[in-house]
Amino acid sequence: MEQRQYKTVGKSIRKKDSMQLLLGKAVYTDDVTPKDALVVKILRSPHANAMVRSINTAVAKKVPGVVDVYTWEDVPQTRFAIAGQTYPEPSPYDRLIIDRHVRFVGDVVAIIAAETEKAAEKAKKLIKVEYDILEPVLDFRTAKDNKILVHPEGDWFPPCQVGGDPKRNLVASETNFHGDVDAVMADCDIVLDRTYHTKAFNQAMMETFRTYTDLDRYGRLHVISSTQIVFHCRRILSRALGIPKSRIRVEKPRIGGGFGAKQTAVCEVYPAFVTLKTGRAAQLIYTREESQIAGSPRHEMEIRVRLGASKDGKIRVLDLYTLSNTGAYGEHGPTTVGLSGHKSIPLYTGGLEAYRFSYDVVYTNLQAAGAYRGYGATQGIFALETTVNELAEQLGMDPTVIRDMNMVKEGMVMPAYYGEVANACALDRCMEHCRQMFGWAEKYPVRDMGNGKVRAAGVAMAMQGSCISHVDVGSATVKLSDDGTYNLIIGAADMGTGCDTILAQMVAECMDCDVDDVAVFGADTDVSPYDSGSYASSTTYITGKAVEKACTDLRKQICAVAAEMMNCQPEEVVFEGKQVRRVNTQQTVSLEDISYKSQVFNNQAVQVTATHSSPVSPPPYMVGMVEIELDKETGQVTILDYMAVVDCGIPVNPALARTQTEGGLVQGIGHTLMENVTYDHNGRPMESSFMQYKLPTRLDMGKLKVEFEHSYEPTGPFGAKSIGEIVINTPAPAIVHAIYRATGVWHREIPVTPEKIAMSLPENQ
């Protein structure tokens, strides 16, 4: 393992925007946009599947302050996708800005533009709509080859062939395998066949979806949005609105949380359409209810796991089938599902002789799903890790030992992970470290605390990726400013992750300066170099490598200018941070003087734009262990301790990596114990506010402790891998394992609510 000491990388530097946030300074979309914009509101469908027979907007348009009301008759008829993905998108083009055919409760029926929110809301109530109500498909288990088609239209278009067929309600379908699965399964001593169900959890970020649009001084569409994907957003708007990308500028201010929801262009097209129609600035801010019922939640999945093992605990074969519910539209459907197998099966590369992974992604008449931290791996890891825990319990083996025997280790080829090699893998050390830190030997045995309360422990491990290999592109511009400091210009979006700070640390490390000497700007399609965006855990790994490349070239350019100043060749000088020195004479010129020289009779640029893409996506790894106390009278689960050890390569900023991990653990705890998404018999979401959609608070977390095991990833900047997504993946299987230890009952659907636990207990307990 290559390890070296860094001056800035590996240090817990304070976030660059921390003081602005602490002091409540204006940084978010609603803070930095003018207040005289038109208010945009959306009339939404009360039906899960219907055709708009007629719509009367005449009375609504007469409301004082209403500028206009738009219906399906007013919008372009070109279908598009709102998934923030690299072109050509795997997601089908299946949306219109407003469609006469509404496909879920909450789908868009009309757009209202008004001078005030009061006028817009009044107009919304006065729009008269007559619907031809159609029978919906609400159960995703019956959607495939159902006679009811969610997308019967003839202009449904797939930019990529991913096995989709709208005439079968299929968005995507595929099977891949390695080895003879059936033969190995038949030869196993023990075979487990289990099916798991995960719900469509909501990201519930503090800042709801919101976008401001206007026409700039050149008549171009200017979009300021809380988005993770400025460049993808520009392309989406171009297709939806039918205008060239060159006429659109998209920028993002500070983002108040995204967690993947804002990798989808949920709301941008509506105010943009209003601005183009009226020539005026417009703003749309989703209410919390809209974010809950018409946002971009996690894909509901049902995962069948067949596991074959020998009686000594060797896992020989795995067979996974995932059924994914994309909802009414297909964004992210073809891509999330792949991670349910490709980011779970490789964990058991150690002794695996064969695997098979197949999936179907289906349309239903429910809210469309999208990207959420973990992006399908979360669902697959819950299913597989719970099955492995059941295997250990059936064999009477310690579940950490069975993982020691079977886990992927450094240097192994992972057939289920596209044949990549685990070049940097400290999963075995994560397990041992977590065992010791948690006190597994003492906490694994079940302890009766009296009063019907039991304490028990559970374990899980996880992996993720560091980008989308062969696809993601990161770029960075680094330039020398005229006072000897640096500007870093990026297209990646800091959504609270601290990527502005982390990338500035990399510049500081490369250029031997202070982090405070690096000013960061991003993201803006007119200014920033192209970047796929902040998703797929790619920013540190991909954009970070672009920063490293840019700095390497910038040092050479600075040396070239300095050499000219000292009348020598560039090979005769060395870069020393604040100065450049001529080796044989010890003559020096300061960085500040070099910056001035670059502005006078100079032909040598002192700024570099570098781009990076990767053919591999090195997985980070993680082990999580939890101790719970379960009350058998009420079914209430209390988290006492959650210990996690993460291998993210070399953590660039350990404090930020730790907070990322803690945040992901809390989200995972919420998914497992309380967050729920349910629909009534008409397909209406029941949890439309935080009164119904229960989120964990500080009181629900227990004692969290996070530590790191370092590995060195040779393809990453400074040995780094990703940290953003993996951290959400261990709570569900670990907590469900602990609940089994406490009750003797396996729960295969999350969330596991107190009611479910209490109702599942045998009468005599």
Answer yes or no: is pLDDT of 500 > 50: yes
Question: Cβ(701)–Cβ(669) under 8 Å?
Answer: yes
Does this model's pTM top 0.95? My answer is yes
- CA triple 495-500-501, angle to 5 deg: 115
pLDDT over 90, % of the chain: 95
∠ at Cα 471 (467, 474), nearest 5°? Answer: 65
Note the pLDDT of residue 1: 40
Mean pLDDT for the stretch of residues 68-77: 98
Residues 172 and 187: beta-carbon distance below 8 Å: no
Q: Is the pLDDT of residue 526 over 90?
A: yes
At 522 the pLDDT is: 86
Residue 86 pLDDT greater than 70, yes or no: yes
Among 464, 428, 345, 409, CA closest to 729? 464
Burial status of residue 279 (CB atoms within 10 A of its CB: 0-12, 13-18, 19 or more): exposed
Residue 238 has pLDDT above 90, yes or no: yes
Q: How confident is the model at residue 6 (pLDDT cuts 50, 70, 90)?
A: very high
Token pair listed for 195: 């099916």
Nearest to 237 by CA among 255, 227, 257, 223: 223
Number of H helices and E strands in the chain, helices first, is: 19, 30
Average pLDDT over residues 290-302: 98
d(CA 307, CA 172): 25
Q: Provide the CA 230 distance to its chain's centre, in angstroms.
A: 15
Name which of 451, 756, 446 is nearest 633 in CA terms. Answer: 451
For 470-508, give the secondary structure using H, E and C.
Answer: CCCCEEEEEEECCCCCEEEEECCCCCCCCHHHHHHHHHH
Report d(CA 428, CA 354) in Å as an integer: 22
Crossing angle (nearest 10°) for helices 654-673 and 731-743? 50
Percent of the chain with pLDDT over 70: 99
Closest CA to 153 of 404, 35, 328, 401: 328
Mean pLDDT in residue range 190-206: 97
User: Does residue 111 surpass a pLDDT of 90?
Assistant: yes
Residue 96: closest CA among 81, 116, 86: 81
Q: Looking at residue 537, what is its pLDDT?
A: 86
Beta bridge partners of 42: 111
Mean pLDDT rounded to a whole number for the chain? 96
Q: Are strands 101-102 and 50-56 parallel, antiparallel or unpaired?
A: antiparallel
pLDDT > 80? residue 386: yes
539: pLDDT strictly greater than 80? yes
Around 102, how many Cα atoms within 13 Å sit in the side-chain half-sphere?
A: 27
* Angstrom distance (rounded) from CA 340 to CA 362: 15
CA-nearest of 312, 620, 313, 627 to 459 is: 627
Max Cα distance, the chain (Å): 91
Backbone CA torsion sign across 655, 656, 658, 663: positive
Q: What is the radius of gyration, based on Cα positions, of the chain?
A: 27
Mean local confidence (pLDDT), 174-184: 98
The pLDDT value given to residue 494: 86
> Region 138-152: what's the mean pLDDT?
98
The letter for the amino acid at 106 is G
**pLDDT tens, position by position, 35-59:** 999 999 999 999 999 999 999 999 9
Distance of CA 168 to the CA centre of its chain: 29
Other Cβ atoms less than 10 A from the Cβ of 223: the count is 26
Closest CA to 231 of 543, 608, 492: 492
Contact partners, residue 763, CB within 8 Å, separation at least 6: none
Whether 618 has a pLDDT exceeding 70, the answer reads yes
Q: Evaluate the CA torsion angle 632, 638, 641, 644 in order and state its sign.
A: positive
Mean pLDDT of 743-762: 96
How do residues 464-497 score in pLDDT, each as one tens digit?
A: 999 999 999 999 999 999 999 999 999 998 888 8
Task: Determine the average pLDDT of the residues in 271-282.
Answer: 98
Q: Are strands 101-102 and 453-463 parallel, antiparallel or unpaired?
A: unpaired
DSSP state of 144: T
